[in-house]
């Protein structure tokens, strides 16, 4: 079983700014989302014996995983294969600016893969598929992974065998956990407490 979590909201998310391999800190809401995911996962898995907590090396995923790890009493393992998609020259750019500059590209569902110097869908799919293939088989697989909107979509798509269009059309909530088990993906919403 895999529980897939997207990092909590960041300042870049709130600004509608492409993050890619850049980073920005979690907002108060993002910290509350991470805490809610930790509580939900504690309820879902019970005793954390045998569970692994894996996170992308980017700060926003590490910070989210840190909150979850405290709730579960698990150390964080870092794996670069679940890092966010690199959007090349578009990393750090506001989406509204990009849409104004590239209106023909923004009509596509997967416009992010048109970024100059960015990663291709195929390269992201290859790295997350390699990560999935390296995990123990079910039912021995007991993994929580903290990833990102883009790479998390590709993890779910690779797990389900979805097409590129189906993969990129999936939602990317920051207040839910996805359970990947027995060839199916289930969304489980978190109850986010008031921001502190």
Respond yes or no: is residue 7 known to be catalytic.
yes
| CA nearest neighbour of 174 among 46, 19, 21, 1 | 19
Q: Using CA of residue 129, residue 134, residue 137, residue 142, what is the dihedral sign?
A: negative
Nearest CA to 192 out of 4, 35, 14 is that of: 35
Which one of the listed residues 11, 77, 84, 125 is annotated catalytic? 84
Phi/psi at 179 (5° precision): -100, 120
Contact 8, 30 (CB under 8 A): yes
Question: Would you tell me how many other CB atoms lie within 10 Å of the CB of residue 27?
Answer: 17
Q: Single out the catalytic residue among 7, 119, 125, 148.
A: 7
Separation between Cα atoms, residue 6 and residue 26, nearest integer Å: 12
Asked whether 21 and 88 are in contact (CB, 8 A), the reply is no
Catalytic residues: 7, 84
């Amino acid at each position: 079983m895999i529980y897939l979590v997207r990092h909590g909201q960041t300042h870049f998310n709130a600004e509608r700014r492409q993050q890619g391999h850049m980073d920005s800190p979690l907002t108060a809401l993002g910290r509350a989302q991470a805490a809610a995911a930790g509580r939900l996962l504690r309820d879902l898995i019970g005793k954390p014996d045998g569970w692994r907590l894996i996170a992308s090396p980017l700060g926003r995923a590490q910070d989210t995983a840190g909150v979850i790890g405290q709730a579960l009493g698990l150390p964080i393992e870092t794996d670069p294969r679940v890092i966010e998609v690199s959007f090349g020259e578009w990393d750090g750019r506001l989406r509204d600016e990009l849409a104004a500059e590239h209106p023909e590209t923004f009509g596509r569902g997967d416009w992010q893969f048109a970024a100059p110097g960015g990663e291709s869908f195929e390269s992201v799919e290859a790295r997350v598929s390699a990560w999935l293939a390296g995990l123990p088989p079910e039912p021995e697989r007991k993994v929580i992974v903290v990833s990102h909107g883009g790479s998390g979509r590709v993890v779910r798509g690779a797990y389900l065998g979805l097409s590129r269009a189906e993969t990129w059309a999936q939602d990317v909530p920051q207040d839910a956990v996805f359970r990947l088990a027995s060839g199916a993906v289930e969304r489980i919403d978190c109850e986010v407490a008031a921001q502190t």
